[in-house]
Amino acid sequence: MSTTKKFASQADLEEKKVTFSQISEHAWAYTAEGDPNTGVIIGDDAVLVADTQATPAMAADVIRRIREVTDKPIKYVVLTHYHAVRVLGASAFQPEQILASQDTYDLIVERGEFDKASEIGRFPRLFRNVETVPDGLTWPTMTFTGKMTLWLGQVEVQLLQLGRGHTKGDTVVWLPQERALLSGDLVEFGATPYAGDAYFKDWPKTLDNLAALKPAALVPGRGAALTTPESVARGLAETRDFISDVYASVERGVGAGHDLNRVYRDTIEALRPKYGQWVIFDHCMPFDVTRCYDEVTRYPDPRIWTAERDIEMWKTLEG
């Protein structure tokens, strides 16, 4: 491996083109060529935003787009999971409520500060104007377990926990009346799933639970909005395939008695032909294989990533 490979996404400085598009009667997608997406529900009397961007300065662009189509108040922010790049922009929306699963709340308590420091180091471009992030963490004001229903006038919005995958707290936002789904990072499209906090064994089953809703449109965590049942099915299938392929490769390597370095090299080699062109492939794979190796060997739950552990892991696998 080349020793010049920059850590995580520190070499990724190219600006992305933002698209804000309507995917169903009340659902909108804020997407940026593989950067983290934001989902927006414009109800009869209020707006709900799912995933906030990484800083208030970046969230301001989401607000600007929303204000081009509605002046309704932004009452709700939903955190689909706890990662800093998804939650630290929340203060910009000045919501009445910040909603999350209790599992997500628990993860913020346990590892939110570590994750914040870790992610800012990995993704400088995504934390533009990081000085606009208020001190401390983004805390939910209301939590739920399993299912919660909001009514934005006559528009039914369900917050659902359909299983562990990207994290143990994953929440999707579901509009049953129009079969539109905001998946957070449980689904990616043309972008490599980050699985450093994942449950590899559970994730494919969770995706089957998403598929069982029969979504007609879906906003993935990264990548273009999926606006037909066929493209939704493809997004679900490709994410499932990636997770399954990583797991199968790591399980094979562990079964053969190989150490993490060898398993990593073999897994990269096996997966690059199929997935190497996906956004952040080189960023994610060291984290993904490390977590998968942990899960297959002796850590059923993800270990906490600290900024120090990030660098140490990167040196070990990419140095």
Domain span holding position 65: 19-318
Whether 126 is covered by a domain: the verdict is yes
Whether 236 is covered by a domain: the verdict is yes
Q: Give mean pLDDT, residues 213-223.
A: 98
Whether 10 is covered by a domain: the verdict is no
Cα–Cα distance between 157 and 177 in angstroms, integer? Answer: 9
Q: Give the pLDDT band (50/70/90) at residue 129.
A: confident
Q: Give mean pLDDT, residues 225-245.
A: 98
Give the pLDDT score at 319.
79
Q: Is residue 107's pLDDT more than 70?
A: yes
Proportion of the chain above pLDDT 90, given as a percent: 88
Q: Give mean pLDDT, residues 136-141.
A: 95
Q: What SS3 state is found at 11?
A: coil
Whether 305 is covered by a domain: the verdict is yes
Whether 307 is covered by a domain: the verdict is yes
Q: What SS3 state is found at 91?
A: helix
Cα–Cα distance between 190 and 151 in angstroms, integer? Answer: 33
The string of DSSP letters for 114-169 reads HHHHHHHHH-GGGGTTGGGSPSS----SEEESSEEEEEETTEEEEEE----SSSTT
Whether 298 is covered by a domain: the verdict is yes
The number of distinct structural domains making up the chain is 1
Structure tokens at 29: 């997608």
Whether 75 is covered by a domain: the verdict is yes
Query: Which CATH number is 140's domain given?
Result: 3.60.15.10
10 or 30: which carries more pLDDT confidence? 30
Whether 13 is covered by a domain: the verdict is no
The predicted-structure confidence for 273-287, as pLDDT tens digits, reads as follows 999 999 999 999 999
Give the pLDDT score at 5.
60
Proportion of the chain above pLDDT 70, given as a percent: 96
